[in-house]
Amino acid sequence: MDRLESMSILVDVVEAGSLSAASRRLNMPLPTLSRKISELEAHLKTRLLNRSTRLLTLTDAGERYLAATRRILEDVEEAERTATGEYNAPKGELVLTAPVVFGRTHLVPVVVDFLKAYPDIDIRLTLHERVVNLQEEHVDLAARIGKLPDSTLMAIRIGEVRRILCASPAYLAARGTPRQPADLALHDCVSFHPAAQAETWDFPVGKTTESFPMHFRFVVTTAQAAIDATIAGVGISRVFSYHIAAAQAEGLLVPVLQDFETQSIPVQLVYPAGRMPLKLRAFLDFATPRLKAALSL
């Protein structure tokens, strides 16, 4: 029995909440995973997990063993980083994540220059709209747009963005330009945000915020698709300022209802607390001033 492997599997099972979920996460056959947990319990001569068809919980012994296991695995990882020189020279692989358009527009150019400056560091960048659990998915750094919930993550503010309503000149010529948020009820709207399901958009009115009904003619899952549809004249969309900077400069999109824009939204780089590998420190030192400069334009 590979004891470290079994300990790592136990952690994954508890974090996933079930053997089947852990099996999918680890890409390991369920019988194999279950056998490894049973072998670990046999080695320890105690039950670690209470299993049922719907619920998996730790026994008292399992809770104590899990806490010790996490410390041991962290120490092993720390020792491996030290042995490979990760704390002596910036090298290794960095795993990053960011929203799709923000990543393409702002992060990718910085990453390209960073790779040229640090030939011993590789980067894996995932672009999607969902919020990633950095520790569970082994991600070193994430770009986050919006207020951060309380957490153990460290954060560096690199700027802010605004939400802008926009439409194509052709659409506005055909349908007219809204002057008040209530006018949007007479227009077709485009959205890539889950809030579209509520069929309202919120706007500041005086000192309060009010919700106004919308007709969402087109709802998609990515900002770029929403922008493409808006340029094509499908309707009015609400996107971040960096989403449409290029299209606005080319005259393909026109902002509307600028007097009713919501407050600016912070953009931050977040990463797990604890001792920082040199590869991550090197990237933060390199990327932070460049991203701040880009977002200040």
Q: Which fold has domain 3-83?
A: Arc Repressor Mutant, subunit A (1.10.10)
CATH of span 92-156+273-295: 3.40.190.10
pTM: 0.62
Whether the pLDDT of residue 156 is over 80: the answer is yes
First to last CA, the chain: 57
- 3-83 and 163-260 agree in CATH topology: no
More confident residue, 284 or 78: 284
DSSP string, 136-195: TTT-SEEEEESPPPS-S-EEEEEEEE-EEEEE-HHHHHHH---SSGGGGGGSEEEE-SGG
Whether the pLDDT of residue 157 is over 90: the answer is yes
Q: Which of 44-48, 98-102, 135-139, 155-159 has the lowest mean pLDDT?
A: 135-139
155-172 mean pLDDT: 92
Q: Give the C-alpha separation, 191 to 209, whole Å.
A: 20
**Segments making up each domain of the chain, as ranges:** 3-83, 92-156+273-295, 163-260
Q: Which fold has domain 163-260?
A: D-Maltodextrin-Binding Protein; domain 2 (3.40.190)
Q: What is the pLDDT of residues 209-254, one digit of tens each?
A: 888 888 889 988 888 889 999 999 999 999 888 888 888 889 999 9
Output the CA torsion sign for 269, 275, 279, 281. Answer: positive
* Residue 288: pLDDT band with limits 50, 70, 90: very high
pLDDT at 130: 80
